[in-house]
Chain A
Amino acid sequence: MLEIRDLRVRFGAFPAVDGVDLDVAPGEVLGIVGESGSGKSVSMMALMGLIDPPGQVSAAALRFDGHDLLTLPPARRRRLIGKDIAMVFQDALASLNPSYTVGHQIEEVLRTHLGLRGAAARQRALELLQQVEIPDAASRLKAYPHELSGGMNQRVMIALAIACAPKLLIADEPTTALDVTIQAQIMDLLLRLQREQGMALVMITHDLAVVAEMAQRVAVMYAGQVVETGALPDVFEHPSHPYTAALMAAIPEHNRGARRLQALPGIVPGALDRPAGCLFSPRCPRAQERCRAQRPEVVEGVRCFFPLIEETVA
């Protein structure tokens, strides 16, 4: 349903997204993991058309549900965005307009995409708030975002996103800013909605545990590229790319009894120090001459010349 080929997003000379391929099937849950700066958020924002100049977006293919997003005129694209593809952001309070009530903002979406007005819109808004498990939904409709807690604001954002029954929901670190207990609730909510509505869900996060629980497939991103994709739990139990392996090795649970966490030396390449060869080569314990000279392509879901085979993480 969603097909992304060779997506590139540049900010001046800096390639935030450097050739990303992704596929999402209808109704599937895909997790995108990576550190800050890996380009995971930027890719999805480029998909939604939210990248402004001086950012430049280019791709070989960007197809959604039969539409070619690259050639779609802006007015028609706007009919898809918010309706068939929706996005939920990290800081819910900042992502809601502080000057309008929650109900007003939901009804606005309903009016724009579904043509609902007046009482019908209010009724539907109420139902949506109940669907996202907001208690006392009727009075919450008249509330302003600053009057609600972080968790409730996030629920409102989700309500806004599912208002028009989208086929694809992108959640960009939806729980990072929330308390741990609320995190679990929001996760459960997302999964439940995904099941009930049969929508595809793309979950962007840096939290591997969340992905492991929720997703069916995962894409691991590093420095603007997808370095490994595959089904869960395989990818985490048998990582093929050294970066994925390093991520798994650094998890506290995998370091029980050890005196120190296995941390990976070095940092993600920035704008000025991108290697000519594999972007991970400066930090890779298995790097060889070929790695430093050439950029590897994706082969069988792994972007590596020497992928790990049959290595189990304890």
Chain B
Amino acid sequence: MSALPLSSTPPGPLAEFWRGFSANRGALAALIVFTLLALAALLAPWIAPHDPVQQFRQHMLTPPVWMDGGLPRFLLGTDELGRDLLSRLLHGARVSLGIGLASVLLSLIPGVLLGLLAAFHQRLLAPVVMRVMDVMLALPGLLLAICVITVLGPGLMNTVIAIAVGSLPEYVRLTRAAALAELGKDYVTASRVAGASTWRLMFSAVLPNCVAPLIVNASLSFSAAILEAAGLGFLGLGVQAPMAEWGTMLSSARDYIVRAPWVVTLPGLAILVSVLSVNLMGDGLRDALDPRLKRVS
């Protein structure tokens, strides 16, 4: 007699996670929106109707197509230098999401490494590392970024570095705390006694258990990065004109609140929608990965 096949296998961790995540309707909607944004960002060079820096001198401050005087050629209107807003917004998505991703990676990887090192070398490295982190944390996000920009100068790459520097301490702290919690557990002591090397322990045993809070923090710092990049751009310290970045677009739009409100409204809405979708996804992630973490719904 052949054995009967199991009618169902227990859901793997991925399926389990998806179930928790999709229970949050907001998170689900946010995921869809974010995917669209990411697609728009990726495909911007191909789907943007115009070159984002090209100025159409005859069509400066054209309203969007649904308002009086709007042209189908410039669906969302043009800015004060006659540049197509839709194209600039699309390329701006590229810049913002790119900065977000790059800064998260640039702070997560060193942050995790430093945190692990601090956890494993409590006596020597930890006090030094944590003190430096304390100093960095003494400066609120934007101000720390301003410091870095002051030294390095403005621009896209430096914006990424500035934001990454600001997010670093949180990753170090998180990783160290989670690693210390794991190190206190018996299975780690047993592994050490059995002769497992420190590095092996770090990556195979300790790290997987730190993943959940790291992912949640990554989503938070992603949205914070978008806001910070926009803020820096607005202050003229970040991405420089004529490159299209949502915050930079807003800094020159200030004078046109009355005459051309779309130049002010649209880039800001773009920022809002991006950040909101990432934050909602972060909420969903938190609920799905660790129901104990602030579960209140």
Is any CB of A less than 8 Å from a CB of B in the complex? Answer: no
Chain A residues within CB distance 8 Å of chain B: none
Chain B residues within CB distance 8 Å of chain A: none
